[in-house]
Structure 1
Amino acid sequence: MKNRIFLHGLNLALCGLAVAAFVACGDDGGEGSGGAGGGSGSTTSGSVSSTTTTTGTTDPTTTTTTSSSSAASTSATTGTGGGPQSIELIDDMEDNDNAILAEGGRVGYWYTFNDETAGATQNPPPDPEGTGETPFTMTELAPARGQSTTAARSWGSGFETWGAGFGFDLNSPEGTKAAYDASTYTGITFWAKVGAGSVKSATVMISDPGTDTAGTVCTTECDKWQKTLALTEEWQQFTIPFAELKQGGWGTPAGTEQIDATQLYSIQFQVGVAPEFDLYIDDLGFYN
């Protein structure tokens, strides 16, 4: 088992986004990315299949889950307002390693990134040298969210330029980041919350050839497709169509009106400048 996390501190920023009293503003660039051997840690995870029924958009206490060794997919209803009819899990976090689920041709590994403000702290910490000494690990939930017992989490304080975040590449075997075709899906869905004392806003970001250095459009100011979320200390499910994602408006234009879902590179979550942050993400998947 390889356990390596790699930070490329290039081209990640946000500007002009605000939710409530929070504003995330970007610098000239700073981008996190990772992959086995040349990115984040490399750990093999098995396939998981689950079927989940939820009864609202807050933390479910009556969630029923069954598992098998087939493809990771979930049927869900989210109560008033509707929601995803089918979900293919990218990661349910329950295997407690730093790899996303090995399903649908996806190979990726969780990593953290930040603006490198002197004296600031982030956990799990970035591992710029890729030594594997501090691989990304999942956080045990107390209390559990229904039958979910662990989640992806990053927390810290003191970042003063554009903030910090965490995420993964969708297709990075042996350290080479490649595009992943997600065009058969409508968007992404996940559960999220913040810890006590945390800033109550975060931005989900997805990159494609026009918004990632792996493409041919941007080199230093890659302005990812994104959506800013208002969060609370209670779990909420977010269902975000690809069509709702917009660039932040601060960097290189992608050259397209919408994200190119046939060629996705990474999914990341970022908090902006704030005294404290503590962000949890759970049961992340593509949906239709």
Structure 2
Amino acid sequence: MKNRIFLRGLNLMVCGLAVAAFAACGDDSNEGSGGAGGGTGATTGTGGETATSTGTTDPTTTTSATMDATTSATTGAGGGPQSIEMIDDMEDNDNAINAAGGRVGYWYSFNDGTEGATQNPPPDLEGTGETPFTMTALEPARGQSKYAARSWGSGFETWGAGFGFDLSSVEGEKTPYDASAYTGITLWAKGTTSATVLISDPSTDPVGGSCTDECDKWSKSLALTGEWQQFTIPFADLKQGGWGTPATTDQIDASKLYSIQFQVGTDPEFDVYIDDLAFYN
């Protein structure tokens, strides 16, 4: 069942935004359904801080099984992760996140629908499941890691493009996932342009009912380079971009998370890799 995409009908909406910064809408037609509940809109916003890697970039010093404080490139307070709960290491080379801890989710891509622009893997706009998100083989491998989630393309002019997954989506019904036992997320990444990690909760996801087409997710900018870096992001460091509907809480509600996504802005070209994504303490 891991390669199967469970789909729900897309709720087609149009973004009614005067875009001064990068912005997106809820479940609109340009955001990939990816199966597990659909891609919900995102922005790279102006309100979040930039997370920069300060640790090792040597790919031989870490593997999926050995990410710990000694190899952590820390961003934000609290130091590196002492223990991790792997969300997806991509090594099974399918579109599903690890089926553990009650998580059920599938990778998808989404974008602003700029005419003539391209994104790979392409969004599944019709929700057919015929073209699921595919992982990319790493050449060379990053230590023992042979696959990563990757999206690349060019030409987006409104707010950009992104990729990600829902944490709990069974038969296309997205429900909140309790991650309150964890401090935040940790991941390895590289890219040709900076990216923003976005995480939604009831205040910042259309499913939560507090926002509709201007869901300003909790975010943190990642200063990517062409070399692999590890980023460790505490939930407490996530901020809204400041462009959309304000959250009803001062910080993210980690007990009710919906999605984790990665978004790039309107750079002429982009190429972003994500690997070994996990919750940490």
Specify if TM > 0.5.
Answer: yes
2:273 matched to which residue of 1? 280
Checking the alignment, whether the CA contact within 8 Å between 2:73 and 2:232 is kept in structure 1 is no
Q: For 1:253 and 1:34, how far apart are their aligned partners in 2? A: 25
Q: Does 1:176 align with 2:173?
A: yes
Q: Does 1:203 align with 2:196?
A: yes
Q: For 1:241 and 1:279, how far apart are their aligned partners in 2? A: 21
What amino acid does structure 2 have at the position aligned with 1:214?
Answer: V
Q: For 2:187 and 2:14, how far apart are their aligned partners in 1? A: 25
Cα offset for 1:4?
A: 3.2
Secondary structure at 2:137 match in 1: strand
Distance 1:249 1:80, change over 3 A: closer
Checking the alignment, whether the CA contact within 8 Å between 2:62 and 2:71 is kept in structure 1 is no
How many residues were matched structurally? Answer: 257
Checking the alignment, whether the CA contact within 8 Å between 2:72 and 2:232 is kept in structure 1 is no
1:165 matched to which residue of 2? 162
Checking the alignment, whether the CA contact within 8 Å between 1:218 and 1:252 is kept in structure 2 is yes
Checking the alignment, whether the CA contact within 8 Å between 1:91 and 1:100 is kept in structure 2 is yes
What amino acid does structure 1 have at the position aligned with 2:229?
Answer: Q
Structure 1 residues not aligned, in runs of 5+: 17-23, 41-55, 67-72
What amino acid does structure 2 have at the position aligned with 1:226?
Answer: S
Q: For 2:164 and 2:72, how far apart are their aligned partners in 1? A: 28
1:4 matched to which residue of 2? 5
Secondary structure at 1:77 match in 2: helix
Checking the alignment, whether the CA contact within 8 Å between 1:5 and 1:39 is kept in structure 2 is no
Cα offset for 1:284?
A: 0.1
Q: For 2:211 and 2:59, how far apart are their aligned partners in 1? A: 41
Cα offset for 1:80?
A: 8.0
Distance 1:5 1:230, change over 3 A: farther
1:217 matched to which residue of 2? 210
1:109 matched to which residue of 2? 106
Distance 1:123 1:247, change over 3 A: same
Cα offset for 1:60?
A: 2.7
Q: Relative contact order, CA 8 A, sep 6+: which one is greater?
A: 2
Q: What pairs with 1:258-277 in structure 2 (closer than 5 Å)?
A: 258-277=251-270
2:47 matched to which residue of 1? none
What amino acid does structure 1 have at the position aligned with 2:205?
Answer: D
TM-score of the superposed pair, with normalisation by structure 2: 0.83
Q: For 1:125 and 1:216, how far apart are their aligned partners in 2? A: 28
- Pick one of 112, 125, 128 that aligns with 1:128: 125
CA RMSD of aligned residues (A): 2.7
CA-to-aligned-CA distance 1:30-75 (integer Å, 9 cap, x gap): 66464657548xxxxxxxxxxxxxxx43133143666xxxxxx964
Q: What pairs with 1:178-257 in structure 2 (closer than 5 Å)?
A: 178-194=175-191, 198=192, 200-257=193-250
Q: Kindly, what percent of the aligned residue pairs are identical?
A: 71
